[in-house]
Amino acid sequence: MAVTKRDDLEDVRERVRARYAQAANAVTGGGIATCAETCRSEEETATGSRLYDAAEQSEIPEDAVSASLGCGNPIAVADLQPGETVLDLGSGGGIDVLLSARRVGPAGKAYGLDMTDEMVNLARDNAAKAGTTNVEFIKGHIESIPLPGESVDVIISNCVINLSGNKAAVLAESFRVLRSGGRFGVSDILAEDHLTEADRTERGRHIGCIAGALSFHEYRDGLARAGFTGISIAPTHEVVAGMHSAIVRAVKP
């Protein structure tokens, strides 16, 4: 599993940060987040909102829905239970954290981790509007999760891990913070195994969540090396030729 060089990693982070800061500012200014250089066309807006049904959207503030730019709905497969602690990697405007908080109930807790000040602030505002108190939004990097080991039951993410320049670190950190028996259930962008790195680059840029995507084989191997078992990868839809949104599940023994 390739690791982006330090200088390149910072460059990728800055481009991603700037893109999602722009999206957050658009929502804060009364608009909705546009795809711009993401996986779909520039004219489209709120690409992630269509993946949540009307009942789910009605549970949370409109701004949380408007800021959604994910490629899946990890809540639909997370099987969250009352009293559990859940962590969303790359939580953006907070849509998945707020939905998770309702499912784990007052005895549970939902954390959101994001590196973008604007998104963290937007998510906190959305939590306040929703009157949700069992949530906490933290600024930080998913390659170095600022939580103690064995502190969460479930990790979710919505097409964010593919943006990281050090995915091995993300998977290792996910394993570290999960309790024994904890679940990893994320939506992500994956490449068909036959695509070369050049092929993936042709299909988009890091900021478009495609160029840095792992292959199905690489993702499975990366999870296994981190220590996960019960690994399953299920494609949901093709984003561009040979690149798929998929649900990835695994368990910490």
pLDDT of 53 higher than 50: yes
- Between 176 and 30, residue with greater pLDDT: 176
CB burial of 156-166 (b: ≥16 within 10 Å; e: otherwise) equals: bbbbbbbbbbb
Tell me what the mean pLDDT of segment 39-68 comes to: 54
pLDDT recorded at residue 2: 52
For residue 68, the model assigns a pLDDT of 55
Task: Say yes or no to pLDDT of 170 above 80.
Answer: yes
pLDDT, greater one: 65 or 213: 213
pLDDT, position 220: 98
62: confidence class by pLDDT, cuts 50, 70, 90:
low
What's the mean per-residue pLDDT of the chain?
A: 81
For 219-224, which contacts have Cβ atoms below 8 Å and span 24 or more sequence positions? 219/188, 219/190, 219/248, 221/1, 222/1, 222/167, 222/168, 222/171, 223/171, 223/184, 223/248, 223/250
**Which of 7-21, 31-45, 73-87, 194-208 is modeled with the greatest confidence?**
73-87
For residues 4 and 244, the model is more confident at 244
pLDDT tier, 84 (very low <50, low <70, confident <90, very high otherwise)? very high
| pLDDT band, very low/low/confident/very high, at 44 (cuts 50, 70, 90) | very low
Q: What is the DSSP letter of 34?
A: B
The pLDDT of residue 165: 85
* pLDDT band of 200, cuts 50, 70, 90: confident
Average pLDDT over residues 70-79: 78
pTM score: 0.82
Q: What is the pLDDT of residue 179?
A: 98
The set of residues, in sequence order, having a beta carbon less than 8 Å from that of 65 and lying 6+ positions away, is: 46, 49, 52, 57, 95
Stretch 30-58: mean pLDDT: 51
Local structure of residue 215 (DSSP, 8 states): B
Which segments of 35-134 are extended strands (E)?
A: 85-89, 109-114
Q: Average of pLDDT values for 103-119?
A: 94
Domains of the chain as residue ranges with CATH: 6-251 (3.40.50.150)
